Amino acid sequence: MKKNNAVAGILSAVMLSTAIVPGFFSNVQADAASDAKVLYSNDFESGDVSAFTGRGGVETIETSTAKAHSGTSSMCISGRENGWNGPQYLLSNDYEPGIEYTVSAWVCAEWYNTINLSMEYTDAGGERHYSNLASKGGDGWMEFSDVKVSFSDDVTNVYIYFECSDTANLYIDDFVFKKAAVHDIQEDIPSLKDVYANYFKIGGAVTTSELAPETTKNLIKKHYNSLTAGNELKPDSVLDYNATIASGSNTNPQVTLNNARSILNFCRDNNIPMRGHVFVWHQQTPDWFFRENYEANGEWASKEVMLERLENYIKNVFAALKEEYPTVEFYAYDVVNECYLDNGSLRDPGANNGSQQTSPWVQIFGDDSYIEAAFQFAREYAPEGCKLYYNDFNEYMPQKTQAIYDMAMKLKEKNLIDGIGMQSHLDVGFPTASAYEKALSKFASTGLDIQVTELDITTSDTSEAGFEKQAQIYSDILDACVKYADNISAVVFWGTTDETSWRGDRCPLLFNGDYTAKPSYYSIIDGIDPIQTTTTTTETTTTTTETTTTTTETTTTATETTITTTETTITTTETTSSSETKTNTTTTTTDTTTTTTTTTSNENPGDVIPGDLNLDKTLSMIDLVYLNKYIAGSTTLNETQEKNAECFIDGEINGNDATALMKRIANQISSLPVAAN
């Protein structure tokens, strides 16, 4: 057989544009969709609005014929005194935690307005929290369609509600609340953490609500060996105002882990290491933290007071994590986040609720000295093995790159910093892979560790061509990371699926809302060699005059091993290999010969199984990746693999074989090989 390289480029294009197989999981998705069940709906034609209550206690909620999307009536909310006043729908009394639901409705106001669909819940400590689920802006009827919502079992008083930017009357029509379609993850695709095990950790970021569905948990367990709490360890989540006031101390802010418990428990129970994010940030830090006596409208605290608060805040967080979650490994922590503007200058002084350019840290300290102070305190109180990072976005902008480099080198000289976090919120149009790699090279030259901490790549073009381009950019960025793997210990994707991503309107991640892999996923596993497992068979033969033979089967298990150097953590995946040992035991020994043969799992000769390129006696997407790599000239095959690669009988290994294998995996044909016409 001979390999036809002429079709390699064509096949690669086919793989990207079709996510390997067009409609590969269409049957699964169709079955899942049938599980969707309407739990409550109202077109408000009957006049019944009893399922809704007013959030402000001042609203009038009634049906009205003034506006209607369908029929003649809608629900009207009048008498609103604040933007957050509006109708709320209670979930926690009637619906189950850990289940995904969807909300659909048509909404409008009296004039042009921005209307939000939001969520409220109360944590285990009694604190209320709010999050925006979706937003719409316009001057007519606007549709919220199948907006997902879920909640964990450790929260109470869970509501979804509508609000808008002013006090205009709100109108809601055709409200539908239903159980979301249940989807399973794709178990027969390679695990990302296994694919990149020889290079760096692969992680994800998740919020409490995002983690609630079981399917999300399964996706994380399959693909990630690092997890970041998206919001739950940020200052506004861990700083406890009531406890701080009750303490009577002006310099010892109290902290709580209540917001992060679901994520911390999940990591503890599944032995998943965590990245801590973040101590010092100008955003998502309550304003009272920077004020004298913690008064919301008080004077700015002095530099001396803030130094004490900063030290105690960092100390208290690390102490709480150690005491309450001693088995959760925090292998990295973002100490300081986003101090510099894109032009390389420090942020302007000002409140954290001011412009995007202002920072209360600069307001109080007057310069960047708070950065070094934060790292000093973190170094003192961080647990053993926890590396400390500076983290920033637009890190590839040349002036910002230089500013981060200069700051990091100063801290390195004092042994206060271990690494630089490149957030990497990218777009298919900017930056170029070469510009990104230039920044990567600059940071690598510091000798510090690098972590890609918040990777996502947006595209506004959701056509086949648009996703193909996104896949190529993802491939280019991960190729650059592999190139600098000696300097990189982790690559973390910011979110799990497009549907729950903070940039979800531009489809930035590797997985669709139904948990199926996108072309971008396949683009970053193509060309990366999976871990090679080794099986050793030892046979001892003894020649004797009188022989007793004993056969013993032995199973050898290679357990998970972590090797840590000063800059790089390498984790080998857990693998199990079996060997059969035959021993001839004799009373009289005349001659003994011992032969040891070692082969990789990819080189075991066996029967011909068309399509089985990885020789596991099953057909999966992994086999297709192997075949495509061979056709593209990036790998070689042994004799058995070459025989199995003949999926289309024409005497060559080419795109016809790949097409036949794709069809067989998709169950479009019943058997292989396919005979040429």
**Any idea which residues carry the catalytic annotation?**
338, 454
Backbone angles phi, psi at 210, to 5 degrees: -65, -35
Alpha helices in 607-654, H assignment, sequence order: 621-631, 639-645
Q: Which amino acid is at 385?
A: G
**E strand or H helix that includes residue 30:** helix 26-33
Asked if 590 and 541 count as a contact pair (C-beta separation under 8 A), the reply is no
Residue 359 CB neighbour total at 10 angstroms: 26
Backbone angles phi, psi at 279, to 5 degrees: -85, -60
Asked if 88 and 110 count as a contact pair (C-beta separation under 8 A), the reply is no
d(CA 308, CA 321): 20
Cis peptide before 431 (omega within 30 of 0): yes
Q: Which tokens sit at 290? A: 């920077």
Q: Which amino acid is at 554?
A: T
Give the Å distances, CA to CA, from 236 to 100, 231, 664. Answer: 26, 9, 52
Reported in sequence order, the residue ranges of 429-481 that DSSP labels E, i.e. its strands, are 449-458
Burial 3-40 (b: 16+ CB within 10 A, else e): bbeebbeebbebbbbbbbbeebbeeebeebeeeeeeee
Q: At which residue do the structure tokens 């082969």 appear?
A: 599
DSSP assignment, residue 253? -
Q: Note the maximum CA span of the chain.
A: 106
Give the Å distances, CA to CA, from 575 to 40, 112, 174, 269, 559. Answer: 48, 59, 53, 21, 7
DSSP assignment, residue 604? -
Q: Which tokens sit at 207? A: 């919020």
Give the Å distances, CA to CA, from 177 to 133, 144, 479, 628. Answer: 14, 11, 43, 44
Q: Which amino acid is at 41?
A: S
Asked if 520 and 469 count as a contact pair (C-beta separation under 8 A), the reply is no
d(CA 341, CA 343): 5
Asked if 224 and 203 count as a contact pair (C-beta separation under 8 A), the reply is yes
DSSP assignment, residue 291? B
The SS3 call for residue 545 is coil
Burial 395-428 (b: 16+ CB within 10 A, else e): bbbeebbebbbebbeebeeeebbbbbbbbbbbbb
Backbone angles phi, psi at 405, to 5 degrees: -60, -50
Q: Which tokens sit at 73? A: 């009536």
d(CA 260, CA 626): 41
In DSSP notation, 192-215 reads HHHHTTTT-EEEEEE-HHHH-SHH
The SS3 call for residue 442 is helix
